[in-house]
Amino acid sequence: MALLPILQYPDERLHTVAKPVEQVDDRIRQLVKDMAETMYDAPGVGLAATQVDVHERVVVIDVSEQGDELLVLINPEITWYSEETKIHEEGCLSVAGIYDKVERASEIKVKALNEKGESYEFHAAGLLAVCVQHELDHLDGKVFVEHLSILKQTRILTRLRKQQREARKAEAKVSV
């Protein structure tokens, strides 16, 4: 297994729409293992393949307290959204240190393949519903901050670019 580098917003590759997985094979199973290791190490509760610069429809999620209930979603589809919505504070491994409120369906039904290529369906509510919707946004080339107002998006971009400049300056000082 290997830790994978996570793309950081506003990297344009985060806006790539992921293609369906043609065949669940050893390559996909290895990707799932590497993504899970990366997610747990980050630490996070969800990771989409798009975030690690693999543009295929693969997601790993674990919203359990102990971090021992890995959910693998290959070619996931949300088949039903509740009319009721809820606002949750979201963060993202690709938008480090930024958290904001996003409104999403409070319940969903999902259809996907597991790492064996078997089809399954489940109902999700609460944090799991939020996480699935967040990760599927990534597969569609959308980052959670794009649900926010233009003003908030501009402020976030400004803050992240400043952090990136400061990090480059710090790296330059160390390498001299």
- Which positions make up the binding site for Fe cation? 92, 134, 138
Residue 115 to residues 25, 48, 73, 127, 163: CA-CA distances in angstroms? 8, 14, 8, 22, 37
* 103 catalytically annotated: no
Q: Taking Cα atoms as reference points, which of 65, 67, 86 lies closest to residue 129?
A: 86
Strands 58-61 and 100-105, sheet pairing? unpaired
Residue 87 to residues 1, 47, 95, 109, 126: CA-CA distances in angstroms? 36, 21, 19, 18, 10
Candidates 103, 135, 146, 171; catalytic one: 135
Mind telling me the catalytic residues? 135
